[in-house]
Amino acid sequence: MSLETDIACLRQLPLFATLPPPRLKLVALMGQKLAFAAGERIIHAGDEPAGVHVVLEGEVEITQEHPEGGGRRITLASGSLLGDVPILCGRRYLGEVTAKSAVSALWLPKDLFFELLETIPDFSLALSRDLASRLYRLADAALHEEKLH
């Protein structure tokens, strides 16, 4: 992808849609473009996050294995953020993240991510809404699972 394509892709994501064009270009330039083949590990469980991955194309799978066997798997598509929650709460990654298909991602270093949060209120608000939406879906799933047992 070219710089213009990266910017257009970021612009389509709600989190980046309100960034002024010069700031969006800066994000695309300062972020590191990464490509992962299907099956390639993107994040290791237990690692400390050094930045946030923005999935531009492809699907990823988050896996958390349980010591007694089994585990949980979640698939995320283009537009997903990886690592924002661990960075914000100062924790390590809980699970493995693997490319389910060929994945194109933009890696934003921790400093850039925090700079965006501190200097662009619309970015902070969009991230808050995204986090709240994920929390709502998680609570809804947990409550429905609880009713089944």
Q: Which pLDDT score, from 0 to 100, does residue 106 have? A: 92
**CATH number for 55:** 2.60.120.10
Whether 125 and 97 share a structural domain: no
Say how far apart CA 148 and CA 10 lie, in whole Å: 39
Q: How far is CA 53 from the centre of its chain?
A: 5
90 burial class (0-12, 13-18, 19+ CB within 10 angstroms)? exposed
Overall pTM > 0.75: yes
Whether 72 and 106 share a structural domain: yes
Judge whether 96 and 46 are in contact, CB under 8 Å. Answer: no
Whether 36 and 88 share a structural domain: yes
- Give the CA-trace dihedral at 119, 121, 124, 125, to 10 degrees: 180
Judge whether 60 and 99 are in contact, CB under 8 Å. Answer: yes
Domain that holds residue 63: 32-110
Whether 134 and 95 share a structural domain: no
Q: Which pLDDT score, from 0 to 100, does residue 147 have? A: 52
Whether 58 and 128 share a structural domain: no
Whether 57 and 126 share a structural domain: no
Whether 97 and 136 share a structural domain: no
Q: Which pLDDT score, from 0 to 100, does residue 68 have? A: 74
Whether 24 and 36 share a structural domain: no
Whether 73 and 103 share a structural domain: yes
Q: If you average pLDDT over residues 118-139, what whole number do you get? A: 89
**Res 102 pLDDT > 90:** yes
Closest CA relative to residue 113, chosen from 84, 76, 89:
84
Q: Which pLDDT score, from 0 to 100, does residue 60 have? A: 96
pLDDT digits (tens, 9 = 90+) for 48-88: 999 999 999 999 999 987 767 667 888 888 888 999 999 99
Say which residue, 64 or 145, is predicted with more confidence. Answer: 64
Report the number of distinct structural domains present in the chain.
2
Whether 58 and 18 share a structural domain: no
Q: Which pLDDT score, from 0 to 100, does residue 145 have? A: 73
- Tell me the C-alpha to C-alpha distance, in Å, between residue 29 and each of 6, 16, 49, 120: 9, 14, 20, 17
Say how far apart CA 102 and CA 100 lie, in whole Å: 7
Instruction: Choose from 11-15, 37-41, 55-59, 74-78 the range with maximum mean pLDDT.
Output: 37-41
Q: Mean pLDDT across the chain, nearest whole number? A: 88
